[in-house]
């Protein structure tokens, strides 16, 4: 008897599955905390365990295949990034803008070059160069949601290193989008003899930079007036719904501009400085962050469990796939960690480097595009190569919070490094 047969109502089935996800997330997080690790590492591992149970036990619920869980997981990471944005301001981010740009640039170039070389060595002789290039591209993305949660758990989200990590990840999202468009165009050109889509690249860059520029300038000018008007409303509990509406609206605009919605949610948090909402906070006797925190604690774990559950455990057991995953994962960690040294003086390179390591859902998007792309009459990435890249992404996704959590233990409150 399968899980679906036990629950005839699809909505009731989703409720039961979410109960399973929340229990697994809390148990996994508890084990991780008891081991001295960030709770997000346990939540990712719990998702991996649920994926293995589904693949090995007929009838066990498919967490990764649940539309309801996916919607709530996406909401969870948007709420998380909105909360991370609220903990910083635009002037604070501008102070680390140059350092973030250096880290982001190195964080794209180094892992991509390392992944390309690793694929060239490990894949069979005669493998097309475009396949090697695409594998390298899969390693250049950064998933900020995971590192953001670790930074918040360790009280380092407002440190200089924390702001550099988040700023670099936002820039990395724009650069990663450009890489994906360019490499996809390279594949099409190699397969059909066409030229690279320079016009499309230019439009993508224009939309991405235009969105960020408008959001952080006009948005910052308009929000004080909007929330001052909102303070005249006589209804109760106005602050949180309006704050969420603002975050979701910018997340939608970010998607329209071709960026990940989490970039818009983060921008919304940056724009909503405390002075903009102080009238509503005084009236409701709660800060926006205090109202938002319970939602983040409830929703964000769904995202991390779902990321772990999306891993195809059976595809990782072949020795050649494990070798590919291990080598690419090690190169991916090394490339992003080395990028942390681009932050410059006054920043702890190990903190920045480990914060840039996780790939997560952004890397999986690259793999999905490669699986759907056609080259010489077949898929660009074979199932074995797809599994190897996913395994590498999983390694970086787990290694990132583990390494970041460890180095942050040696940082005093406020983000300054301990003396050696």
* Three state DSSP letters for the chain: CCHHHHCCCHHHHHHHHHHHHHHHHHHHHHHHHHCCCCHHHHHHHHHHHHHHHHHHCCCCCCCCCCHHHHHHHHHHHHHHHHHHHHCCCHHHHHHCHHHHHHHHHHHHHHHHHHHHHHHHHHCCCCCCHHHHHHHHHHCCCCCHHHHHHHHHHCCCCCCHHHHHHHHHHHHHHHHHHHHHHHHHHHHHHHHHCCCCCHHHHHHHHHHHHHHHHHHHHHHHHHHHHHHHHHCCCCCCCCHHHHHHHHHHHHHHHHHHCCCCHHHHHHHHHHHCCHHHHHHHHHHHCCCHHHHHHHHHHHHHHHHHHHHHHCCCCHHHCCHHHHHHHHHHHHHHHHHHHHHHHHHCCCCCHHHHHHHCCCCHHHHHHHHHHHHHCEECCEECCCHHHHHHHHHHHHHHHHHHHHHHHHHHCCECCCCCECCC
| Average pLDDT of the segment spanning 164-180 | 77
Location of structure tokens 């892992």: 111
CA 177 to chain centroid, in Å, comes to 13
pLDDT at residue number 413? 47
**321 burial type by CB count under 10 A (0-12 exposed, 13-18 middle, 19+ buried):** buried
Please state, for a pLDDT cut of 90, what percent of the chain lies above it: 7
Q: What is the pLDDT of residue 412?
A: 45
For residue 43, name the pLDDT band (cuts at 50, 70, 90). confident
> In this predicted structure, what is the pLDDT of residue 415?
44
pLDDT tens string 301-349 = 888 888 778 766 776 777 888 888 899 999 989 999 999 898 887 788 8
Q: CA–CA distance from 155 to each of 29, 84, 150, 158, 163 (Å)?
A: 17, 11, 8, 8, 12
294: pLDDT strictly greater than 80: yes
Residues, the chain: 420
Residue 417 pLDDT exceeds 50? no
Task: Kindly indicate the confidence band of residue 22, based on its pLDDT and cuts at 50, 70 and 90.
Answer: very high
Confidence of residue 71 (pLDDT cuts 50, 70, 90): confident
pLDDT score of 27: 93
Place of tokens 């594998």: 135
Radius of gyration, CA atoms only, the chain = 21
Average pLDDT over residues 353-364: 79
Spatial separation of the C-alpha atoms in residues 61 and 207, rounded to whole Å: 40
232-242 pLDDT, tens digit each: 776 677 788 88
pLDDT, average across residues 260-269: 81
Cα–Cα distance for residue pair 184/250, rounded to 1 Å: 27
pLDDT tier at 288 (50, 70, 90 boundaries)? Answer: confident
pLDDT at 54: 86
Q: What is the mean pLDDT of the chain?
A: 79
Residue 9, pLDDT above cutoff 70 = no
Residue that wins the pLDDT comparison between 264 and 90: 264
> Which tens digit of pLDDT belongs to each residue from 107-134?
889 998 998 898 888 888 777 888 888 8
Distance CA(169)–CA(294), nearest Å, equals 25
**Across residues 338-365, what is the average pLDDT?**
82
HSE-up of residue 154 (Cα within 13 Å, Cβ side): 32
| 133 vs 282, higher pLDDT | 133
If one compares 388 and 91, the residue with the highest pLDDT of the two is: 388
Q: Tell me the average pLDDT across 69-95.
A: 80
For residue 166, what are its two tokens? 């988040």
Distance CA 332, CA 137 (A): 11
Region of residue 235 (phi > 0: left; psi between -120 and 50: alpha; otherwise: beta): beta
Lowest mean pLDDT among 97-106, 198-207, 266-275, 389-398: 198-207
Structural domains in the chain plus CATH codes: 3-63+70-408 (1.20.1530.20)
* Dmax (CA) of the chain: 71
Q: Which two tokens stand for residue 310?
A: 């999306």
pTM of the predicted protein model: 0.69
Confidence band of 197 (pLDDT split at 50, 70, 90):
low
């Amino acid at each position: 008897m399968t899980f679906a047969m036990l629950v005839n109502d699809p909505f009731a089935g989703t409720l039961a599955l979410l109960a399973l996800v929340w229990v697994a997330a809390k148990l996994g997080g508890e084990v991780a905390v008891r081991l001295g690790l960030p709770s997000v590492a346990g939540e990712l591992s719990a998702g991996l365990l649920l994926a293995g149970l589904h693949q090995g036990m007929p009838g066990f619920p498919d967490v990764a295949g649940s539309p309801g869980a996916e919607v709530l997981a996406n909401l969870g990471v948007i709420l998380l990034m909105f909360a991370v944005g609220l903990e910083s301001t635009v002037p604070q981010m501008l102070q680390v803008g140059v350092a973030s740009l250096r880290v982001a640039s190195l964080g794209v170039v180094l892992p991509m070059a390392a992944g390309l070389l690793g694929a060239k060595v490990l894949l069979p002789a005669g493998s097309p160069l475009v396949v090697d290039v695409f594998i390298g591209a899969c390693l250049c993305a950064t998933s900020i949601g995971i590192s953001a949660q670790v930074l918040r758990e360790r009280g380092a989200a407002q440190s200089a290193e924390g702001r550099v990590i988040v700023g670099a990840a936002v820039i990395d999202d724009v650069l990663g989008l450009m890489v994906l468009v360019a490499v996809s165009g390279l594949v099409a050109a190699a397969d059909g003899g066409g030229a690279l889509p320079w016009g499309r690249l230019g439009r993508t860059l224009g939309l991405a930079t235009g969105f960020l520029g408008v959001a952080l300038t006009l948005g910052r000018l308009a929000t004080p007036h909007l929330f001052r008007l909102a303070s005249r409303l006589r209804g109760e509990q106005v602050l949180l719904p309006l704050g969420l509406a603002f975050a979701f609206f910018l997340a939608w605009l970010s998607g329209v501009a071709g960026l990940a919605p989490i970039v818009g949610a983060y921008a919304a948090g940056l724009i909503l400085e405390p002075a903009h909402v102080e009238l509503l906070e005084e009236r409701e006797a709660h800060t926006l962050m205090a109202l938002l925190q319970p939602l983040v604690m409830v929703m964000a774990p769904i995202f991390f469990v779902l990321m772990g559950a999306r891993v195809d455990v059976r595809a990782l057991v072949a020795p050649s796939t494990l070798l590919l995953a291990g080598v690419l994962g090690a190169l991916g960690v090394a490339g992003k960690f080395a990028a942390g040294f681009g932050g410059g003086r006054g920043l702890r390179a190990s903190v920045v480097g480990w914060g840039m390591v996780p790939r997560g859902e952004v890397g999986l998007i690259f793999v999905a595009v490669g699986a759907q792309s056609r080259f010489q009459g077949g898929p660009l990435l074979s199932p074995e190569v797809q599994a190897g890249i996913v395994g590498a992404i999983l390694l970086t996704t787990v290694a990132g919070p583990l390494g970041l959590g460890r180095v942050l233990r040696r940082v005093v409150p406020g983000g300054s490094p301990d003396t050696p």
